[in-house]
Chains A and B, each alone.
Chain A
Amino acid sequence: MRIALFITCFNDTLFPDTGRAVVTVLERLGHRVEFPQEQTCCGQMHFNTGYRPDAVPLVTRFARAFADYDAVVTPSASCAGMVRDNHPLLAERHGTASLLQQVTELVPRVYEFTEFLTDVLGVTDVGARFPHRVVYHPTCHSLRGLRLGDRPDRLLRAVEDIDLVDLPAADSCCGFGGTFAVKNADTSAAMLADKNAAVLDSGAEVLCAADNSCLMHIGGGLSRQGATVRTLHLAEILAATEGTAR
């Protein structure tokens, strides 16, 4: 199986550790990961902000960059959702017939990281150890977009010595919403305040999620408040082998 990592432009630029974590986990499980250098961005920001024609070249690039792989794995629920739900739509309305065909063929092989581990590889114990109190925030794209369900939870529960605690009102949006956080900054901040209160309530040291974008927003708010809770993509927890002989 030829596996390609779709790092996403956001993680590529701001959270390279998450990409390395995905590679670490997949290699630990005995798989080889490739990184097609032609990849860039799924076009989510342009699509969600209303700039659809600007997103079309990115759809074309994505389809070309990943055409030869059996599986495309990405550590971002929102980017996976963008590809799955909106690449076909953009190709159909704004692209050519051949683009639509490429996209239609590729989309079923694009997986969010936890989907790939649980559904394709069939594993939940990835050999991680992380002796910390952790809380998981189901991002909207994980929960209602991709319907990841308990996949992240199953993976996290299999981590050795993890102390996984519950997040109050977990299914509430954190208020990020991409350009929403800039266009509607006050409403976004009000939602963030409630999410942060819930995170602090949970007593966790580490907050994890399947989207670094939401984590950057929540973590940015926690940091401004002077809170000591760390934010970490869940791939980095699954990659951790703290204190083990590995």
Chain B
Amino acid sequence: MSKPGSRGVVWLGSPSFPDAAREALGNTRLRANLKRATTTIRDKRLAVASELDDWEQLRDAATAIKNRTARHLDRYLVQLEAAVTAAGGTVHWASDAAEANRIVTELVQATGEREVVKIKSMATQEIGLNEALAEAGITAYETDLAELIVQLGDDRPSHILVPAIHRNRTEIRDLFTAEMAHWGQPAPENLGDDPRELAEAARLHLREKFLTAKVAVSGANFAVADTGTVVVVESEGNGRMCLTLPETLITVMGIEKTVPSWSDLEVFLQLLPRSSTGERMNPYTSTWTGTTDGDGPREFHLVLLDNGRTDTLADEVGRQVLGCIRCSACLNVCPVFERTGGHAYGSVYPGPIGAVLTPQLVGVENAASLPFASTLCGACYDACPVKIDIPEVLAHLRAKAVERKPRGAEALAMKAAATVLDSPRLLSAAQKAAALGGRALAREGRIGRLPGPLHGWSDTRDTPAPPAESFRSWWRKNREGER
């Protein structure tokens, strides 16, 4: 069995969420970029979701399909393998990131090529494939516009769907002008920051790669078990280029992306574009089944990635997270993500879904601050097209995080509070003490800055001084006698 340490997913050396968030919050440009972007996507999603009368039924259907698939995943995966093999593809099984990277590297090496083009893929981000290929002397070119921006900036993605959400168009123009020449076709002279101009520059830069690359690497949004069909959903057409022009196609797919049949796929193809980009239908949906003579890649390899997923499946509360279709609706509605951005999560999977997926993939003790990076406001649950109860899983993982860490000051305080709260007599005594202490600290009924662990609270907020008399004390004196 693979060890969490060999799974990637988290960026090693990242600070805990509260520390990383503090730094991100100080970046006013980042906050402005994020607010504008998340608000825009949020409104678009709401508009297209509300125009479907059966939106809630679609969500229920998606949950049911994902639950059923997870329950019989062993069977569906074997069925998928058989169907892909029968259609001329080759299936590989990878228990963790290291194994998946080794498989892909060897497959590329077998072609004799030193360059691959890539379709945006969370699975390959998760395993750190580009870095692994680079170590073997193979250059991977990202062809999704936002991933290209991230790659040119030697940066990290900060959003599942819009990885460069933290960049504005001026920053992107500067990046294109400075960096494109090092990777291939340079940016046009005097490039402006109009989105149309930027897209055209990217198009010219990428065209060269599409026409020369012999190997492509993709992820998968879905794979249909009974036919062996793999599906990629995208907006820009770069995916279609990568899926059709090269001679060899290697797809890395998390095992949970399997759906039983095409009729199940129909549900997700309605939910995904509406939830992610706020479109009724995404511009490009590519499906392929093995290989076809004289049409598209001559070789197709499907790498089925576990990397912590069977561990997740074993958790009866946490397993619902495997239903995620990576739409990012939860990120766009999350008030925490909107302020901190994605990098603060220190993981390939940011936002609410990252806070419940990452700790499960790598072990909660290796991402212990993430389940606490939420107010449990529930906006993510309402937005999730698969109805993943993210707040429920967050609370569940918090309990696991507490169980697995050595008992410290917080545990002692919680234990003491539990003792007081389980006794009306001790509670009354504590209320009297609080009233006395509070009045000593307060000025005009308000307590200002506090020392110790509560300074984070009191740096920006006054606290009301506890009243002289608690409710229970008042009731005893004024109301008990009457009855």
Given the interface pairs A12-B431, A224-B462, the reply to whether A187 lies near B339 with Cβ below 8 Å is yes
Which of A36-44, A110-118, A154-162 has 4 or more CB atoms under 8 Å from chain B? A36-44
Contact: B335 with A175, CB < 8 Å? Answer: yes
Chain A, 159-192, contact with B by CB distance < 8 Å: what is the 0/1 string? 0000000000001110111111111111111111
CA distance A43 to B372 in the complex (A): 17
Which residues between 363 and 392 of chain B lie within 8 Å of chain A, taking CB atoms?
371-379, 381-382
> Hey, which chain B residues are within 8 Å of A38, CB to CB?
424
Given the interface pairs A40-B421, A183-B18, the reply to whether A190 lies near B414 with Cβ below 8 Å is no
> Hey, which chain B residues are within 8 Å of A9, CB to CB?
421, 427
Which residues between 400 and 453 of chain B lie within 8 Å of chain A, taking CB atoms?
400-403, 410-411, 414-415, 417-418, 421-424, 427, 430-431, 434, 446, 453
Which of A54-62, A97-105, A200-208, A235-243 has 4 or more CB atoms under 8 Å from chain B? A54-62
CB closest chain-A residue, reference B427? A40
> Hey, which chain A residues are within 8 Å of B475, CB to CB?
19, 35, 37
Please tell me if B471 contacts chain A, counting CB pairs below 8 Å.
yes
Please tell me if A197 contacts chain B, counting CB pairs below 8 Å.
no
Given the interface pairs A7-B471, A219-B464, A220-B463, the reply to whether A186 lies near B21 with Cβ below 8 Å is yes
Which residues between 132 and 162 of chain A lie within 8 Å of chain B, taking CB atoms?
140, 143-145
Please tell me if A13 contacts chain B, counting CB pairs below 8 Å.
yes
> Hey, which chain B residues are within 8 Å of A7, CB to CB?
471-472
Which residues between 18 and 39 of chain B lie within 8 Å of chain A, taking CB atoms?
18, 21-22, 25, 31
Contact: B335 with A172, CB < 8 Å? Answer: yes
Residue tally, chain A, CB below 8 Å to B? 66
Contact pick for A182, options B431, B457, B466, B472, CB 8 Å? B457
Contact: B339 with A190, CB < 8 Å? Answer: yes
Contact: A221 with B461, CB < 8 Å? Answer: yes
Please tell me if B456 contacts chain A, counting CB pairs below 8 Å.
yes
Which residues between 31 and 89 of chain A lie within 8 Å of chain B, taking CB atoms?
34-35, 37-41, 43, 45-52, 54-55, 57-58, 61, 86
Contact: A140 with B377, CB < 8 Å? Answer: yes
> Hey, which chain B residues are within 8 Å of A49, CB to CB?
398, 402, 410, 414
CB closest chain-A residue, reference B372? A183
> Hey, which chain A residues are within 8 Å of B453, CB to CB?
182
Please tell me if B479 contacts chain A, counting CB pairs below 8 Å.
yes
Contact: A224 with B466, CB < 8 Å? Answer: no
CB closest chain-A residue, reference B22? A186
Contact pick for B422, options A23, A57, A177, A221, CB 8 Å? A57
Given the interface pairs A45-B417, A48-B376, A50-B401, the reply to whether A13 lies near B461 with Cβ below 8 Å is no
Please tell me if A16 contacts chain B, counting CB pairs below 8 Å.
yes
CA distance A179 to B398 in the complex (A): 12
CA distance A216 to B372 in the complex (A): 21
Please tell me if B57 contacts chain A, counting CB pairs below 8 Å.
no
> Hey, which chain A residues are within 8 Å of B483, CB to CB?
34
Contact: A144 with B378, CB < 8 Å? Answer: yes
CA distance A68 to B213 in the complex (A): 75
CB closest chain-B residue, reference A217? B461
> Hey, which chain B residues are within 8 Å of A217, CB to CB?
461
Contact: B472 with A35, CB < 8 Å? Answer: yes
Please tell me if A2 contacts chain B, counting CB pairs below 8 Å.
no
Least CB distance from B18 to A in Å reads: 5
CA distance A49 to B371 in the complex (A): 10
Further 8 A-B residue pairs, CB within 8 A, beyond A13-B466, A20-B474, A219-B462: A39-B424, A40-B427, A45-B417, A51-B399, A180-B374, A184-B336, A185-B457, A187-B340
> Can you list 19 A-B contacts with CB-CB less than 8 angstroms, sorted by A residue number?
A12-B471, A13-B431, A17-B467, A23-B479, A34-B483, A35-B479, A40-B424, A40-B427, A46-B418, A86-B395, A173-B375, A181-B457, A183-B456, A184-B372, A188-B375, A216-B463, A219-B462, A220-B462, A223-B462
The chain B residues found within 8 Å of chain A, CB to CB, are 17-18, 21-22, 25, 31, 335-336, 339-340, 371-379, 381-382, 395, 398-403, 410-411, 414-415, 417-418, 421-424, 427, 430-431, 434, 446, 453-457, 459-464, 466-467, 469-472, 474-476, 479, 483
